[in-house]
Amino acid sequence: MGLPSDSSSWDSEDDDLEEEFSEWELFVYRIRENLNFKHVNFWEEVSGSMGDMGTFIPLLLTLAFVNGVDVGTTLLFTGLYNVVTGIIFGVPMPVQPMKYIFSVAITAGDPLTVPQIMAAGLSTAFVLMFFGMTGLMNIATSLVPTPVIRGFQLSQGISFGITAIKYILKKQDFTTGKDLGDRDFFGTDGVLLALIAFTFVVLVSGPGDDLVQQASEFEESDAQSDGYSSNDYKYSKLPTSSEPISFPKPRLPPAKVIGIGEEGSVHRGTLAEGLLRGALEESLLLNGYKEDDLKNVDLEGGELEKETLRRKLVIPSALIVFLLGVVLAFIRDWVSVGKVNVKFIFGPSLPQLVKITWDDWKIGFLRAAVPQIPLSLISSVVGVTKLSNNLFPEKKNVTAMAVSTAVGIFNSIGCCLGTLPVECGAGGLAAQFRFGARSGLAVIFLGAVKLVLALFLGSSILRMLAEFPICLLGVILLLAGMELAIFCRDQNTRMDSFVMVVCATVTLFGFSAPTGFACGFATYLLLKFRQKLRKYVLTKYLFDQVQR
């Protein structure tokens, strides 16, 4: 028996394959599937790849101006990281600077040197690799309650929003990390430009009823008025059992029914779809098809077609906003020649081995790595893994062990050569998903762009990045933060919501992320104990009543 040749067969035989084939064979097959971009919208993926720029560019600029981190080297290695994550994971896995190391590195009056930053990144990398390669990361992930992770993500989303508003309303000096007063209302980096960009993005790709759902509702309404005929029941020639089976959606009155799907999930569909599906499945079984083949049946107008139609209707809003920023950056650079003392030099910046002394290791580890390690374990591994599994449950390669190991390997190589420490954050994944990314193609494209810029312009690209309108980055970051916060809406019980809010509140207001995580976890355990205790007391009371 060979490996299946299409993803639909994979979904139906996944459990059997895991038992029959080695992990390496499955890994190779999944990578092959990750590189199958037949059903993705290229421009949507490109637009999604821009979603992470709201955090990446400002942090990179600040570290370049304040600490002297080499922009060309960072673009080169982060570009490689993007390509590798896109191939291995098959999802828009982001590559972002490590936030706590960044905040410590730019501390006013006592910033970290480049060797100290790299020492902090290497220290964090070694811990992540240890947890990943030993399998401890998968165990830790299984023990962390979802409400705690959602609380941390909620705090991140709100924090992104606060930072974004600051970018939009205040002038930023990345050489000092401070505000320079209110931003002008007009101009190529003014508040009005941000308002126009925000309005544009919300109008073309904001949340709410999408065009596909509206089209489906219109079709059902139209069917009621026009009636239906026997032609509505005609279906295409039966394909081979290995091919997905598609039948026209019947134009019948849209009486709604509720069915119980796999694992007890509830789904809705028209009564006509339900009746037709039952008749078709019975017919297929009589014609020699097996029950597993019926998993490939999809009524035309179902979820697969809706997803295809959604991709056709999408407008790459983030890409348009980012390209506008690039054009304005060229204009601003032409108008203010000499504002940034960097000349354009064609060719790459050669990476150089960073010399790290014992004092650099001590300062970098104690000041930056110690607080960064728990933050990376929570956000860069557990958080992003759980969010990815929610968004892309079919991507089996995205595990806590794989993500932790990958981040560790990336930094153990890049930090030796002067690349700023990076991680895979849940905020970046939410941002890229928000603007249209649905596969690894988004980050592969982004990585390719970074590689081209690094190889042709090197560190001189800093001149153009410095002129990019920060207000537009603020708009992208604001929408990314909102999307990350919206993902937390699945906590729909009072207990889960309470834990989530406790974790988010403690994290946001004056405490570190590890403290917020610990408080949320402790609250969860306390409520679980209370639940068990109440159940025990109630059971004992009822038992005593029966005995009497």
**If you write DSSP's letter for every residue of 203-262 in order, what string do you get?**
HHH-SSS-HHHHHHHHHHHHHHHH---GGGG--PPP--TTS-EEEPPP-----EEEEE-G
Q: Mention every residue, 6+ apart, whose C-beta is less than 8 A from residue 412.
A: 122, 125, 126, 129
Distance, CA of 360 to CA of 118 (rounded, Å): 9
Q: Is 379 helix (H, G, I), strand (E, B) or coil?
A: helix
Query: String of b and e for 485-508 (b: at least 16 CB within 10 Å)?
Result: bebbeebeeeebbbbbbbbbbbbb
Q: What phi, psi does 219 have (nearest 5°)? A: -65, -40
Strands 245-247 and 297-299: parallel
- Which secondary-structure segment (H or E) carries 425? none
Of 490, 512, 537, which one is at a domain's C-terminal end?
A: 490
Reference 425, options 149, 70, 195, 223; nearest CA is 149
Which of 106, 104, 136, 128 lies closest to 374, judged by CA?
Answer: 128
Phi/psi of residue 374, nearest 5 degrees: -65, -35
Check whether residue 170 and residue 248 sit in a common domain. Answer: no
How many structural domains does the chain have?
4
Query: Same structural domain for residues 269 and 390?
Result: no
| 392 contacts 91 by C-beta, under 8 angstroms | yes
Place of tokens 């374990």: 377
pLDDT of residue 12: 45
Residue 257: what pLDDT?
A: 34
Question: Residue 510: inside a domain, yes or no?
Answer: yes
Same domain? For 479 and 403 the reply is yes
Residues 159, 240, single domain; the answer is no
3-state secondary structure of 290: coil
Nearest-angstrom CA–CA distance, 526 and 522: 6
Predicted pLDDT at 343: 66
473 shares a domain with 331: yes
With 0-12 / 13-18 / 19 or more C-beta atoms within 10 angstroms meaning exposed / middle / buried, residue 546 is exposed
Distance of CA 292 to the CA centre of its chain: 32
Q: 79 and 199 share a domain?
A: yes
Tell whether 348 is covered by a domain. Answer: no
> Domain for residue 143, yes or no?
yes
Q: Cα-Cα-Cα-Cα dihedral of 446, 164, 513, 175, to 10°?
A: 80
Is residue 403 in a domain? yes
First to last CA, the chain: 65
Give the ranges where 435-492 is alpha helix by DSSP (H): 441-456, 462-467, 470-486
Residue 346 inside a domain? The answer is no
How many beta carbons lie within 10 A of that of residue 29, not counting itself?
17
Cα separation of 339 and 336, whole Å?
A: 6
Q: Does residue 344 fall inside a structural domain?
A: no
pLDDT at residue 288, as a whole number = 55
pLDDT the model gives residue 247: 41
- C-beta atoms surrounding 103 within 10 Å: 14
Provide the H-helix boundaries in 293-316: 303-313
CA distance 422 to 97: 4
Residues 254 and 119 in one domain: no
223 C-beta neighbours (distance < 10 Å), count: 19
Q: What phi and psi, each to the nearest 5 degrees, are found at residue 55?
A: -105, -40
pLDDT of residue 39: 78
At 239 the pLDDT is: 41
Instruction: Look at the pTM and tell me if it is higher than 0.95.
Output: no
Q: Which conformational region is residue 184 in: left (phi greater than 0), alpha (psi within -120 to 50 degrees), or beta? A: beta
Answer with the one of 440, 457, 490 that is the final residue of a domain. 490
Structural domain for 290, as ranges: 211-311
Same structural domain for residues 375 and 444? yes
Residues contacting 389, CB < 8 A, separation 6+: 395, 398
pLDDT of residue 216: 47
The answer to whether position 388 is within a domain reads: yes
Residues 6+ apart with CB under 8 A from 536: none
Task: Please calculate the CA angle 397-401-403 and round it to the nearest 5 degrees.
Answer: 65
- The one-digit pLDDT tens for each residue of the chain (548 residues) are 444 444 444 444 455 555 566 777 777 788 888 888 887 888 889 989 988 888 898 889 888 888 889 999 999 999 999 999 999 999 999 999 998 898 888 876 788 999 999 999 999 999 999 999 998 888 888 888 889 989 988 988 898 888 889 999 998 877 666 778 889 998 888 999 999 999 998 888 777 544 444 444 444 444 444 444 434 433 333 344 444 444 444 333 333 333 333 333 333 344 444 445 555 555 555 555 555 554 544 444 444 444 554 555 567 888 899 999 989 988 887 776 545 555 667 778 888 899 999 999 999 999 999 888 988 888 789 889 988 988 888 887 889 999 999 999 999 999 999 999 999 988 889 889 988 898 999 999 999 999 999 999 888 888 888 888 999 999 998 988 888 888 888 888 899 999 999 999 998 886 677 788 889 999 999 999 998 898 888 888 887 777 76
Same domain? For 124 and 257 the reply is no
Asked whether residue 349 is assigned to any structural domain, the reply reads no
Question: Tokens for 471?
Answer: 């207000």
Tell me, yes or no, whether 9 and 109 share the same domain. Answer: no
CB 186 within 8 A of CB 512: no
Contact (Cβ atoms closer than 8 angstroms) between residue 368 and residue 116: yes
Do both 222 and 362 map to the same domain?
Answer: no
Q: Are residues 60 and 128 in the same domain?
A: yes
Measured distance CA(435)–CA(47) in Å, rounded: 6
Domain boundary among 441, 470, 490: 490
Q: What's the rounded Cα separation, in Å, for the pair 443 and 208?
A: 26
